[in-house]
Amino acid sequence: MAVEFLGMVPLILITLVLLWQCVLVGYTFTLAANAADEAARVCAVGGDYGEAGRRHVGEAWSARVSCPGSGDLARATVKLKVPVLVPGTVSFPFSVTGEAGAVWEKENGG
């Protein structure tokens, strides 16, 4: 029985690592969407949308925030790198994108 348990330990650990990585990917999507929403709100009133987007992400995720105004909406886009196992260390070479929009609250529309 002990030999069978020792044989299963690597499979159990690999499964836990893969599940943890899936949790990190999902959490990165959630962070990107929330940061884009906050950045769009601040962009709509003419504030510092970059700082607003990064404030809700944290230092472990490298964020790129943009808010190109077009039409009736201030649209914010946040791109985050997905970390490998531990946030703040190595990241995958792809980014997760979160997008949001808010109606302009300034009179000149941007």
Q: What is the pLDDT of residue 106?
A: 65
- In the chain, how many domains are there? 1
Is 75 a domain residue? yes
Tens-place pLDDT, residues 3-60? 788 888 899 999 999 999 999 989 999 999 999 999 999 988 888 888 888 887 877 7
Is 40 a domain residue? yes
Is 48 a domain residue? yes
Average pLDDT over residues 62-80: 85
Token readout for 37 is 């929403």
Provide the 10 A C-beta neighbour count for residue 77: 19
What pTM, to 2 d.p., does this model score?
0.79
Domain residue limits at 89 = 2-103
Q: What is the pLDDT of residue 107?
A: 59
Q: How high does pLDDT run on average in the chain? A: 86
Interatomic CA distance for residues 53 and 37, integer angstroms: 8
